[in-house]
Structure 1
Amino acid sequence: MRENFAKPGNALKRAKEFIEVGKKEQALACLNDVINSKKHRTWTKVHQEIIFMHIQLCVETRNNNQCKEGLHQYKKICQQVNINSLDASIRHYLALAEDKANQARQESRDIVSALECEDLEQDVQTYEGLLLSTVTDDSTQERTDRVTLLPWVKFLWEAYRTVLDMLRNNAKVETLYQETAQRAFKFCVEYGRRNEFRRLCDNLRNHMNQVIKQQGSQYGINLNVEQSMQMHIETRLIQVDCAIKMELWQEAFKAVEDIHGLTTMSRKPPKPQLMANFYQTLALVLWKAGNYLFHACAHHRLYILSREQKKTLTSEENERLATNVLLSTLAIPLTTQRNLTERPYEADDEKSRRLATILGCINVPTRSSLLKDLNKLNVLQVVSVELQNLYRYMELDFQPLCLCGEISKLFKILKSENDLELDRYIPQLEIIAIMKQMKQISQVYQTVRFSRLVNLIPFADQHRLEKIIVEAARHDLEVKIDHSTKSYIFGSNVSFYSSEKDDILSGPVIQSMPSDVIRSQLLIIYGALRKASFMITPERKEKENARLEQLVQKYKRNRIKQHASILKRKDNIERRKEAIEKLHEQRVRGLVNVKSL
């Protein structure tokens, strides 16, 4: 039965009396009467004591609905008078809920430990455990958690949801809202709640949409304030980190898009440290997603940002960043679409444009463009000698018989130096090295036996090698696998798609494949023989370079005189044209006069 208290203090005393005799439900009812009463809407210090006791009783009785209703009513009482009281009440509520969940988890562990160690002389497996193991796959710990821990985990999750829904789009408690969201993310990671994490991300996204729609309301959040925008971005960064820990890569990418949307809305550019964390996180997400092109692009953006903004960048940090840039760029797959049917779908193009926009790129990057940027950024001058040699072997040298062998030696050296950054790139770099060596071998040989090729590539067996070659054949490499003779046959067929190729695999070549020699055969043969001649007699190349240098110097000496003679010749041609036109007009006039006579 409801009671009408003249003063809030009377209800507080009555509630304490009920608690002393163990009647928590009656005590909670007394406090609810005061909080919901319209007569007691003027905030006093007694109200804060009442709400603290109300929260305490709700947590002990695990009554989340009454706690939610009480906090909403208390928000109306103190929002305009003392918002700090609401802040303290909510923090008290979350702290009690978290403590109860931690106590329940410890209690569950203690129960399992006691069951397993009840008698040291008996078998550890009890009869109850043996019977349960025949009907379920759950362990003793899982069954105990379901009974002891799960109710408090549900209560804590509802507490987070209640607080977030109550504080959304309220500038006065914005800091508490962001802290609660961050604590909720950590709760999902700690207890492994993947579904709740997805719901939490959706709720925060809906709250942000409401903030955007309700700009200018009385207590609404103003995103034009730098501090508000900064807090929202920091919360999303924690969201991405938690999604990565839980391996929810789709949610991580959605959070990255949210961060990009917030940065574009902000009037002031975000802090460099914030953007550095953003690029690092985005690079990891893209690597896990298998998007090696934009993973490398993210490392490029991070390197540029670090060099521009961090004036005290040490040589070790610079080398580490440059190493990531070089390795990620070399690890980009050698993809080439040979015809219109193999080009990516429009959805993939749209996704690439979105990623390019997120990374601040005007156009969608390519492997060749990022390789050119390595020279512009002087990355090769910063990395170690071994990585410089790796770049030279993979992008510059033509070594069809020892490319993978030299790269394998470099990998062993770098592994001995405990280069952790290289470990994750090694499998991808090996695939690219195999494809490049196969491309170079196809320039020299027409047929190679399986055993010979396996010896040339030390880090791949025949099965892995055959899988990579089949994949390469879908793009630019012209090869057939002949199991009857146990050999690979290169360039045996003229490709129908040669004229429609968008690009070729990067790397040095000495001659074209049969599909590329349909036109200009003599020029191609001349180029191949010239390269071979230079490889056999390097001094000839030096002489030709010297002769070219002489021609360049001669041109520089005579270019002014030649330019003047060209201009003079142009004037003479113009004058001759004018004279011919006048003569032609005179002849026409003469013929007209003769006909008139």
Structure 2
Amino acid sequence: MRPAYQRPENVLKRTDELIKVGQSASALDFMYDALTSKRLANANAGNTEPVIIKFVELTIEHRRGKQLKEGLTQYRNIVQHKNPESMSKVISVMLATITKHVTAAQQNAERAVGLIGDLEESETPEDMILSSVSGEQTQDRTDRALVTPWLKFLWEAYRNLLDILRNNVRFEALYQQVSNQAIDFCQTYERKTEFRRLCELLRNHLEAIAKYSHQPNSVNLSNGDTMQLFLDTHFHQLNTATAMELWQESYRSIEDIHNLIQKSKRPVKPQAMANYFEKLTRIMYVAKNPLFLAAAWHRYYNYIFRQTKVFSAEQLQEVANNVLLSTLAVPIIKASSSSMGKENKQRTQRFTNLLFLSTAPTRVSLIADLVNSDVLSSVDPALRPLYDLVEEQFHPLSICREISPILSTQIAGSAQDSKYGQLLCNVILTRLVQQLSQVYTAVQLDFIVGLAQFPAPYTMSAAAIERFIMHGARRGEFQLRVDHEARSVEFDTDAFDGAQAGGTNGAQLQASAASLMRTQLSSVAVSLANAQRVACPAYVNEQLARKAEVVANALAAMRSEHRVAVARKLVIDRRKEVVENAVARRELAEARERAIRQQREHEAERQRVAEEQRRRETDRVQRELDAVRRKEALKLAESIREKAGIVVDIDDLDMLDTDKLKVLQREQLEKDKHDMQARLKLLARRADHTERAYRRAELPLLADDYAEQKRADREHHDAARRNVLAATREKHAEDVSLKKRLARVYDDFNVVRQKLDTGRSEAQAVERRRVRELLAQAKEERVAEFRRLLAAKVEAEAEERAKREEAQKAEELASAAKAAKAAELAKLREEMAAQRVKDEELLRLRVEKEREREAGPAKYVPPSRRTGVSASATPPPVPASASATPPPPPAAATAAPSSSKYVPPSRRTRPAQ
């Protein structure tokens, strides 16, 4: 049955009590039960930290890894939301304690081996029997008995910590720190098996991140800082694997780093990439792949070439030497098609991806990159002729003689470059056989052996050379046959052999028969075309015109198709962009909703936990207050019962009247007060009498004490004075002897001093004159500069004044033009107003005429009775503007008497003036 919940303070106190009585195992079990309690999950991290540290120390002391893991898992759940830094402190204490135990175990093992009973006896009979059975020495058995258990416990601690901290964003930095410490542990103690398991464990954790990315506290690899932490850890893993020469783990680490770089959105540091390619060169060398070794060196050189502040010129030259030698050492003989299986192609593709290349490198591309990148300018001058001899100026009869000094002195004498020597010899031998096949049809095998003479330690025997030639012939690189009876080599001169027509990628001495046969038809076609151009010029011109027309039509169709393709591409890109934007918006919205939902859940959980904590804290405070009140009441009742003699029932203390307790307490206080006053009076009287007796007894002794003190002071004074006088006499004697010694060199000192003073005075005079001249020159320059600035200032003020006057004149002209324009506008407005009045008057007259016409025809009046104006008629009003001119005649006077047709005012005739 699990014990009841206890507070962390009480757990720690109980544990200390058990440890003091020698029951550390019981204390560990008690703390384990307390830490695994469900009610401890909501405890305060500050109160729980001392408990977990004590628990860690006890589990380490008893080496209980399972309980340690469970306790740390429980503590991780407690602190991961509120105080994740506390977990780092606990883990630091844990690893430091275990490491201390490992160091102590190593020291004990060394001390145990040093304690040998018989120094003259090299091996005891027991050791001889054990060594014959197991093959182990005394040191190995001692380490296995004392050191290995602690090393195993430390390894289990690292593995358990990585399992506890994995895939948790709150502990990602701590996880990487523990990973680096585990890697250092494997390197320090040379634990290769554990290092392989650690690499596999880290790889599984990295793969599980994508699988459990939906969890609340999962690690997000899209974050740049998180990705950088993982890259740093895996680079450390790569460096350690290379240092321990675990090449398979190095290759797997390289692949892990490559995958992380592909996923990373932040560019990797150039120093890290240089380290990546440097380790890749070592891996490719161990893998014995010369082609990708050279490609890795090329990539490494390209990165460090731009980092001149980090890498020195010597390092750059060393890398350039490796680039040159590894490139030239790539075999010319290609792998046969039968050996290029599916597995080999996959491996080539993987190597190509590790180099961040789109296509697999070839020897031709590496040679071209070597020339284009100007690597030869950084190569050691002693190695530069090697490129010209192998690639540019190759001659089969003298190549071995010319290249022997470089092979024997530069390459064989360097531990770094000697690994390329045999490969270079193979390349030279391959090129030698290829170019001999261009010149000869058959040669003696001894002739080839005589040409292929390499210096030691790269000397090749005749059998090795023959084996190499047969190997190249079997793989199809050489077209030859070996006649062992005549010891000759016959080269294939078939003019229809396509393999010979291809030639080699090196220097060509002369064209082969196959090359000439391959170009024979094209030569005949060129000759016939020239003859046709001379014999039939009209036909040729017609064909050329037709060809030009076809080309023009093709170009026009190509442009049209190009425009259609461009338009289609734009439409596709637009659609793709719209789809990508929609997907991005949807993903962003989903991420936002997911983040909001997680935030709400976290907030609700936080509020629930806070409310639960607040309720528990309130209950705890209330319980503590009740306990304090009861404790005080119990103490008060005990005091009253003991001092006052009043009987108080402690069991029924809660039912006791408070006023009665106060009255009892008051009575007890009064009684204690009176007793205390009486006791103080008695003590004061006794102290007074004792002090008087002491002073009366010491009076006769004061005079004797004073006399003794004066005598001691006199003796001390005399001794101090004697010491001072002796020291003074000794110092005076030393000073006198020093003066006599220095007096002998006083004259020489004066002479030297006089010379120095004379030289210094002359130098000071010269310096004083120089300073005065400089001061005068500076003063003149300062005056000239001041005058120049003053002139410039006056000129600037004059220019500014002129500009101001011009601006004022321009402003006046603008104002005058504006006033004239305003006057013209006012005049135009007046004319428009007068014209508007005239138009209104004409419109009024026209309306009146229309009304009269619509009213009906006028009564007929004979001509003899017609008068100009009817007497009863009222003359029409005359406008003010037309008062000076006579009104126009009425329309009836101008129209025909018999016609009543309406005539517009614009067509009406006016009487002659």
Deviation at residue 263 of structure 1 after TM alignment: 0.9
Map of 1:381 onto structure 2: 377
Map of 1:435 onto structure 2: 430
Map of 2:346 onto structure 1: 350
The alignment partner of 2:489 has SS state of: strand
Is the alpha carbon distance of 1:437 and 1:570 closer, same or farther for their aligned partners in structure 2, counting shifts above 3 Å? same
Q: Deviations over 1:154-177 (max 9, x none)?
A: 111111110001100112211221
Map of 1:341 onto structure 2: 338
Within a 5 Å distance, the mapping from 1:117-516 to structure 2 comes to 118-120=117-119, 122-215=120-213, 217-308=215-306, 310=308, 314-337=312-335, 340-342=337-339, 344-415=340-411, 419-444=414-439, 446-450=442-446, 453=449, 456-458=453-455, 459-462=458-461, 463-475=463-475, 476-479=477-480, 487=487, 489-491=489-491, 498-499=497-498, 505-511=504-510, 516=514
Provide the C-alpha distance between the structure 1 equivalents of 2:369 and 2:270, rounded to a whole number of angstroms: 21
Provide the C-alpha distance between the structure 1 equivalents of 2:548 and 2:75, rounded to a whole number of angstroms: 99
Are 2:479 and 2:500, in contact at CA under 8 Å, matched by a contact in 1?
A: no
Q: 1:346 is aligned with what amino acid? A: K
Is the alpha carbon distance of 1:95 and 1:503 closer, same or farther for their aligned partners in structure 2, counting shifts above 3 Å? farther
Is the alpha carbon distance of 1:504 and 1:132 closer, same or farther for their aligned partners in structure 2, counting shifts above 3 Å? farther
Map of 1:529 onto structure 2: none
Deviation at residue 575 of structure 1 after TM alignment: 11
Deviation at residue 376 of structure 1 after TM alignment: 0.8
Q: Equivalent pairs: percent with the same residue?
A: 33
Deviation at residue 457 of structure 1 after TM alignment: 2.9
Q: Deviations over 1:183-225 (max 9, x none)?
A: 2223223333333222222221121122123335322222122
Is the alpha carbon distance of 1:517 and 1:370 closer, same or farther for their aligned partners in structure 2, counting shifts above 3 Å? closer
Provide the C-alpha distance between the structure 2 equivalents of 1:501 and 1:169, rounded to a whole number of angstroms: 61
Deviation at residue 448 of structure 1 after TM alignment: 3.1
Provide the C-alpha distance between the structure 2 equivalents of 1:201 and 1:405, rounded to a whole number of angstroms: 50
Are 1:479 and 1:488, in contact at CA under 8 Å, matched by a contact in 2?
A: no
Is the alpha carbon distance of 1:266 and 1:503 closer, same or farther for their aligned partners in structure 2, counting shifts above 3 Å? farther
Is the alpha carbon distance of 1:112 and 1:378 closer, same or farther for their aligned partners in structure 2, counting shifts above 3 Å? same
Map of 1:68 onto structure 2: 69
Q: Deviations over 1:326-372 (max 9, x none)?
A: 1221121223256x435x11222222223222322121110101101
Q: Deviations over 1:108-129 (max 9, x none)?
A: 33323334xx433x22121111
Deviation at residue 415 of structure 1 after TM alignment: 4.9
The alignment partner of 2:375 has SS state of: coil
Is the alpha carbon distance of 1:27 and 1:371 closer, same or farther for their aligned partners in structure 2, counting shifts above 3 Å? same
Deviation at residue 518 of structure 1 after TM alignment: 9.4
Q: Deviations over 1:417-438 (max 9, x none)?
A: x644312222322322232233
Deviation at residue 310 of structure 1 after TM alignment: 4.8
Provide the C-alpha distance between the structure 2 equivalents of 1:231 and 1:363, rounded to a whole number of angstroms: 31
Structure 1: runs of 5 or more not aligned: 524-564, 579-597
Provide the C-alpha distance between the structure 2 equivalents of 1:572 and 1:372, rounded to a whole number of angstroms: 39
Deviation at residue 6 of structure 1 after TM alignment: 3.7
Provide the C-alpha distance between the structure 1 equivalents of 2:129 and 2:380, rounded to a whole number of angstroms: 62
The alignment partner of 2:248 has SS state of: helix
Provide the C-alpha distance between the structure 2 equivalents of 1:387 and 1:39, rounded to a whole number of angstroms: 75
Deviation at residue 391 of structure 1 after TM alignment: 0.9
Are 2:411 and 2:421, in contact at CA under 8 Å, matched by a contact in 1?
A: no
Which piece of structure 1 moves more, 243-252 or 286-295?
243-252
Deviation at residue 66 of structure 1 after TM alignment: 0.6
The alignment partner of 2:444 has SS state of: strand
Q: Deviations over 1:504-553 (max 9, x none)?
A: 55322425678x47945989xxxxxxxxxxxxxxxxxxxxxxxxxxxxxx
Provide the C-alpha distance between the structure 2 equivalents of 1:174 and 1:86, rounded to a whole number of angstroms: 12
Are 1:398 and 1:508, in contact at CA under 8 Å, matched by a contact in 2?
A: yes
Is the alpha carbon distance of 1:571 and 1:277 closer, same or farther for their aligned partners in structure 2, counting shifts above 3 Å? same
Is the alpha carbon distance of 1:222 and 1:522 closer, same or farther for their aligned partners in structure 2, counting shifts above 3 Å? closer
Are 2:352 and 2:360, in contact at CA under 8 Å, matched by a contact in 1?
A: yes
Is the alpha carbon distance of 1:503 and 1:424 closer, same or farther for their aligned partners in structure 2, counting shifts above 3 Å? farther
Q: 2:371 is aligned with what amino acid? A: N
Map of 1:573 onto structure 2: 545
Are 2:45 and 2:83, in contact at CA under 8 Å, matched by a contact in 1?
A: no
Q: 2:350 is aligned with what amino acid? A: R
Deviation at residue 73 of structure 1 after TM alignment: 0.7
Provide the C-alpha distance between the structure 1 equivalents of 2:485 and 2:314, rounded to a whole number of angstroms: 54
Provide the C-alpha distance between the structure 1 equivalents of 2:356 and 2:247, rounded to a whole number of angstroms: 21
Deviation at residue 132 of structure 1 after TM alignment: 1.6
Deviation at residue 569 of structure 1 after TM alignment: 4.9
TM-score (norm 1): 0.80
The alignment partner of 2:268 has SS state of: coil
Provide the C-alpha distance between the structure 2 equivalents of 1:273 and 1:100, rounded to a whole number of angstroms: 38
Deviation at residue 8 of structure 1 after TM alignment: 1.7
Are 1:478 and 1:491, in contact at CA under 8 Å, matched by a contact in 2?
A: yes
Are 2:349 and 2:360, in contact at CA under 8 Å, matched by a contact in 1?
A: yes
Q: 1:461 is aligned with what amino acid? A: M
Map of 1:27 onto structure 2: 27
The alignment partner of 2:262 has SS state of: helix
Are 1:171 and 1:222, in contact at CA under 8 Å, matched by a contact in 2?
A: yes
Provide the C-alpha distance between the structure 2 equivalents of 1:502 and 1:22, rounded to a whole number of angstroms: 93
Is the alpha carbon distance of 1:362 and 1:175 closer, same or farther for their aligned partners in structure 2, counting shifts above 3 Å? same
Structure 2: runs of 5 or more not aligned: 522-536, 551-913
Q: Deviations over 1:50-102 (max 9, x none)?
A: 11111111111111001001100111111112111111111222222222223
Deviation at residue 251 of structure 1 after TM alignment: 2.1
Q: Deviations over 1:211-259 (max 9, x none)?
A: 1233353222221221211111111112222222333322221211111
Provide the C-alpha distance between the structure 2 equivalents of 1:481 and 1:108, rounded to a whole number of angstroms: 67
Is the alpha carbon distance of 1:482 and 1:15 closer, same or farther for their aligned partners in structure 2, counting shifts above 3 Å? farther
Provide the C-alpha distance between the structure 1 equivalents of 2:179 and 2:548, rounded to a whole number of angstroms: 84
Is the alpha carbon distance of 1:202 and 1:503 closer, same or farther for their aligned partners in structure 2, counting shifts above 3 Å? farther
Provide the C-alpha distance between the structure 1 equivalents of 2:121 and 2:206, rounded to a whole number of angstroms: 57
Are 2:238 and 2:250, in contact at CA under 8 Å, matched by a contact in 1?
A: yes
Map of 1:554 onto structure 2: none
Which piece of structure 1 moves more, 78-87 or 213-222?
213-222
Are 1:5 and 1:11, in contact at CA under 8 Å, matched by a contact in 2?
A: no
Q: Deviations over 1:298-347 (max 9, x none)?
A: 22122222334557765434323322221221121223256x435x1122
Q: 2:435 is aligned with what amino acid? A: Q
The alignment partner of 1:421 has SS state of: coil
Are 2:392 and 2:506, in contact at CA under 8 Å, matched by a contact in 1?
A: yes
Is the alpha carbon distance of 1:451 and 1:184 closer, same or farther for their aligned partners in structure 2, counting shifts above 3 Å? farther
Provide the C-alpha distance between the structure 2 equivalents of 1:173 and 1:502, rounded to a whole number of angstroms: 66
Q: Deviations over 1:249-279 (max 9, x none)?
A: 2222121111111111111221111111111
Are 2:5 and 2:39, in contact at CA under 8 Å, matched by a contact in 1?
A: no
Are 1:336 and 1:504, in contact at CA under 8 Å, matched by a contact in 2?
A: no
Q: 1:406 is aligned with what amino acid? A: E
Q: Deviations over 1:436-483 (max 9, x none)?
A: 233334445533344871672333231543443343333312455555
Is the alpha carbon distance of 1:268 and 1:575 closer, same or farther for their aligned partners in structure 2, counting shifts above 3 Å? closer
Are 1:216 and 1:222, in contact at CA under 8 Å, matched by a contact in 2?
A: no
Is the alpha carbon distance of 1:572 and 1:447 closer, same or farther for their aligned partners in structure 2, counting shifts above 3 Å? closer
TM-score (norm 2): 0.53
Provide the C-alpha distance between the structure 2 equivalents of 1:509 and 1:448, rounded to a whole number of angstroms: 22
